[in-house]
Structure 1
Amino acid sequence: MSSEDNEYKGGTVAFCGGTDWQMIGRSAGGKKSDKDKQADEERAAKFPNLTSPHTLKALQTIRIRFVAAGSAACHCVIGDLEGKCYTWGRNEKGQLGQRDMQTRGTPTLVKDLAGIDVISGAGGRHHTAIVTACGESWTWGSNLQGQCGTGSLKSQPKSEELLLEPKKTKEVADCTDVACGAEFTMWLCDGRVFSAGLPQYGQLGHGTDHEYNAKDSSVKIMYQPQPTPEVIQGLTHTTIRKIACGHNHTLALDDKGAAFTWGNGGYGRLGHQVQQDEHKPRQISVFDRAPVDKNSTAACGSTSSFCSGIGGALYGWGKLKASGDNTMYPKPAPGIEGWTILSMACGSQTFATASQYQKETSIITWGQASNGELGYGDKGKKSSANPDKCPVLDNVPTRQVACGVGFSMFLVDPEHEAVKKLPDFEAPEDAPDESSNGAAEPAAKGKGKGRGGGATKKAAEGPASKKRKTEEKPASRGRGRPKK
């Protein structure tokens, strides 16, 4: 940790978005009876969408060091100044590390990490990873694709290996940060990057997607999981200082001003001007002329990538809006010009920054939201194609932002007057999950082990690169920017 980290006195969490963790990101679908509609209304009243940031009553006396989630995560991970780790949210695969599969709406201490000083973390779709002050990493949740990096894989065709309590990651030491894709994990260890999990799209960065046909008499494409973290050789010539993961791709920044991407190339999210998967790290040529610096931030959404350049200006590429052209290489992000990016995070299709203009710090959010996670309030916009301020946190000192599926978290100064005026939220008593009976769920059809475990071609994201052009929609342009 830096001297700045040692001097940090801790913050509190301002949270906005969905609180119905069992239903966030899921569609009930189908025609409903009046009784079903009434039940939905009662559920929505019990588990409201917080359209404006709230503080969390359970954390009133706790000073927070970091907040974390991930573009595919529907659960939250935070750590306090004492090194304790807390989790809450969806838990059907044990991703909360609480030795059960009970969804929790209240931040809950991960007791099995007692005595371990947790300094950072990240969440995948069904797994979680943390880093400790001594450079170790611990993981838990689904290990179906080896994404927990335990060195072994026990999933079978009709059963999924679930780690309901933290397990120490193998082959990882001197770790300083971690990032999670949907079904894979990246560890930053003394300037080197290690990866484990599902290799589809080449997202592990080792030069292959480990594709094979699981049947002799027909075609069943699978991808051989990698349960043991391995160093990405394509980055050993330089020192990496920042990593970020989307659902199926990774962005890495080094200490020489270069940026590298690999994995799924759909929508131009890799920034190489083509929709082509990259099986090993490839340097983004745009930053040869406009390099990143030591203070640059990095963030990835499901189909997008961002990083800040020299001076804090934000660049974005990929599918940046629900409609319109894809941005095939890094360009200055419209609507946020002139702001210095202090911290950034992406949900699946939403984006949040802590940004500074002169002496003013603002939370700026945008994207296709579904649960009020942009924080604009009950009378504000539900979604926004262009960056805009989160009004109740305007000019509030913010250390970090984190986003997941249907929610956003902001690590703010607890002594600021605006923060003291935020409403408190106390989650209702946790009800048993409707999706789990407390026993390990069978693996989904088509996600069986095959040869050592694997995922079908449709398991991670969708069509292969050669089909992606049909997913693009007609262009629709718009401009706007948050007022300074």
Structure 2
Amino acid sequence: MASNTSAIIAWGSGEDGQLGIGDNEEKECVCAVKALDFHSVRSVVAGSRNSLAICHDGKLFTWGWNQRGTLGHPPETKTENIPSQVKALNNAKIVQAAIGGWHCLAVDDQGRAYAWGGNEYGQCGEELERKDDTGRPLRRDIVIPQRCAPKLVVRQVAAGGTHSVVLTRDGHVWTWGQPWPPGDIKQISVPVRVQGLESVRLIAVGAFHNLALQENGTLWAWGNNEYGQLGTGDTQPRAQPVPVLGLSGLTLVDIAAGGWHSTALTDEGEVYGWGRGEHGRLGFGDNDKSSKMLPQRVHLLAGENIIQVSCGGTHSVALTRDGRMFSFGRGDHGRLGYGRKATTGQPMEVPIKIPPPKNAGEDAAEKRWIAKLVACGGRHTLAIVEWETDESKHTDTDIPIV
């Protein structure tokens, strides 16, 4: 991806510098993250209060909230509003990463996993020898990225509110940390394999719930289920994976988990959503903001040929094959990108109004920015966009493989 024809864009809350634009202001409309203009970015991740970008050469950049060491370098400041490279990972080629409540995970091209940030629930995988007055291990924040799950060859990492989940190259799922709301269950810092899951090809993790998509297309879920985010038809939590109901006969190609809601995407570009419906984050319409115990088709996106859905804390964004983005859910702090603070369950297109690249040519008025990947955080959103070329007008676009 050439840096002169691509850009990283952001919108929403900026109070912790998570937009990466050099200030801590919120943006109700799309703006460019200019500090990354000269880097070839392949993937972006938006967390609850911070962000990261992965370049094609494996370099990792972070920005935003830093009080728990979530940026991966010494916490000289509470927040940082300009992306900076995580130098501790210079010798690794990072290919995928995730941000949890206040910790981060990453994996390199060799299958080695790394963790940093808050670690009081063992979510970074390290225990200290010191004990508190009750005999429990005292854990410190991990300011500099360190290896985690060293015995596993990892393909994908995912981070929850206070727990971590990884998918290994042999299709197994492992987890550690505090998988339930703090206080509900004893935390662990040593990876434990999730029983009953074989041949998994993709995982997605919300605040306290987890999804795993098998190679055969079966979707499994476990964890907190207060709003029906497991898709089991009830609100009972599950300590072990159970099949998500209501998706039989569909060929699933992607999944996503937000704070308390979930989505699945079919090979025909149709979106299914379930879980917490407050603020319209499921996209079922302005008058339907109730929680859904079972997956339901998002009819308002029918025919749009969706290739990716990203779920944030209280909003969602769907990406179409031709590079448009539709957002829906809670609208304060500008997180929907519409230029106003409306909360809506009606998916609406996000205008990408940033200047064309300097080499756009005389026909710039006839072309546009095409979104390639989107990432929703707690109250902000990031996306990768490319400038339309004559070839891209006649070629299907796909999200990058990360």
Q: Give TM class, smaller chain.
A: 0.7 to 0.9
Partner of 1:410: 383
Partner of 2:398: none
Paired residue secondary structure (2:110): coil
Hey, what's the Cα distance between the residues in 1 that align with 2:102 and 2:68? 6
Does the 8 Å contact 1:396/1:416 carry over to 2? no
Does the 8 Å contact 2:69/2:143 carry over to 1? yes
TM-superposed deviation, 1:171: 4.0
Hey, what's the Cα distance between the residues in 2 that align with 1:374 and 1:84? 29
Does the 8 Å contact 2:42/2:54 carry over to 1? yes
> Does residue 55 in structure 1 map to residue 32 in structure 2?
yes
TM-superposed deviation, 1:68: 1.1
> Does residue 303 in structure 1 map to residue 260 in structure 2?
yes
Give CA deviations for 1:291-322 in whole Å, capped at 9, x if unaligned. 42xxx121111111001123121000011232
Structure 2 residue identity aligned to 1:369? G
In the superposition, the TM-score normalised over structure 2's length comes to 0.83
Does the 8 Å contact 2:159/2:205 carry over to 1? yes
Q: 367, 370, 374: which is aligned to 1:401?
A: 374
Query: Please, which moves more after superposition, 135-144 or 384-393?
Result: 384-393
Partner of 1:234: 196
> Does residue 280 in structure 1 map to residue 275 in structure 2?
no
Does the 8 Å contact 2:172/2:200 carry over to 1? yes
Structure 1 residue identity aligned to 2:295? P
TM-superposed deviation, 1:339: 2.0
Hey, what's the Cα distance between the residues in 1 that align with 2:133 and 2:293? 39
Paired residue secondary structure (2:246): helix
Which of structures 1 and 2 has the larger relative contact order (alpha carbons within 8 angstroms, sep 6+)? 1
Alignment of 1:334-483 (within 5 A): 334-356=299-321, 360-377=322-339, 380-392=340-352, 396-413=369-386
Structure 1 residue identity aligned to 2:176? A
Aligned residues: 360
Does the 8 Å contact 2:262/2:273 carry over to 1? yes
Paired residue secondary structure (2:247): helix
Does the 8 Å contact 1:14/1:409 carry over to 2? yes
Partner of 1:122: 98
Paired residue secondary structure (1:335): helix
Hey, what's the Cα distance between the residues in 1 that align with 2:53 and 2:152? 22
Query: Please, which moves more after superposition, 391-400 or 161-170?
Result: 391-400
Hey, what's the Cα distance between the residues in 2 that align with 1:120 and 1:332? 29
Does the 8 Å contact 1:257/1:287 carry over to 2? no
More helix by share: 1
In the superposition, the TM-score normalised over structure 1's length comes to 0.69
Structure 2 residue identity aligned to 1:137? A
> Does residue 143 in structure 1 map to residue 138 in structure 2?
no
Structure 1 residue identity aligned to 2:149? K
Give CA deviations for 1:403-431 in whole Å, capped at 9, x if unaligned. 112110001115679xxxxxxxxxxxxxx
Give CA deviations for 1:317-362 in whole Å, capped at 9, x if unaligned. 0112327321110110131111222222111001012113xxx321
* Unpaired stretches in structure 1, ≥5 consecutive residues: 1-7, 25-44, 202-210, 212-220, 418-484
Moved segments of 4+, more than 3 Å:
8-11, 150-160, 393-396, 414-417
Partner of 2:52: 77
TM-superposed deviation, 1:242: 1.1
Hey, what's the Cα distance between the residues in 2 that align with 1:351 and 1:153? 42
Hey, what's the Cα distance between the residues in 1 that align with 2:131 and 2:274? 36
Give CA deviations for 1:41-66 in whole Å, capped at 9, x if unaligned. xxxx9632111111112112111011
Partner of 1:208: none
Hey, what's the Cα distance between the residues in 2 that align with 1:129 and 1:385? 31
TM-superposed deviation, 1:133: 0.8
Structure 2 residue identity aligned to 1:124? G
Structure 2 residue identity aligned to 1:413? E
Partner of 1:176: 155
> Does residue 97 in structure 1 map to residue 65 in structure 2?
no
Partner of 1:256: 216
Partner of 1:328: 293
Does the 8 Å contact 2:18/2:63 carry over to 1? no
> Does residue 199 in structure 1 map to residue 179 in structure 2?
yes
CA gap 1:83/1:248 in 2 versus in 1, 3 angstroms: same
Give CA deviations for 1:108-153 in whole Å, capped at 9, x if unaligned. 1101111210111110111000110111111100111111123668
Does the 8 Å contact 1:155/1:161 carry over to 2? no
Structure 2 residue identity aligned to 1:412? V
Paired residue secondary structure (1:187): strand
More strand by share: 2
TM-superposed deviation, 1:172: 4.8
Does the 8 Å contact 2:112/2:150 carry over to 1? no
Structure 2 residue identity aligned to 1:75? N
CA gap 1:153/1:399 in 2 versus in 1, 3 angstroms: farther
CA gap 1:100/1:145 in 2 versus in 1, 3 angstroms: same
Does the 8 Å contact 1:300/1:346 carry over to 2? yes
Paired residue secondary structure (1:107): strand
TM-superposed deviation, 1:23: 11
Hey, what's the Cα distance between the residues in 2 that align with 1:262 and 1:154? 32
TM-superposed deviation, 1:363: 0.8
Paired residue secondary structure (1:76): strand
Partner of 2:10: 15
CA gap 1:154/1:122 in 2 versus in 1, 3 angstroms: farther
Hey, what's the Cα distance between the residues in 1 that align with 2:2 and 2:215? 28
Does the 8 Å contact 1:154/1:161 carry over to 2? no
Hey, what's the Cα distance between the residues in 2 that align with 1:66 and 1:227? 28
Hey, what's the Cα distance between the residues in 1 that align with 2:202 and 2:224? 19
Paired residue secondary structure (2:382): strand
Bigger-Rg structure (1/2): 1
Partner of 2:229: 269
RMSD: 2.6
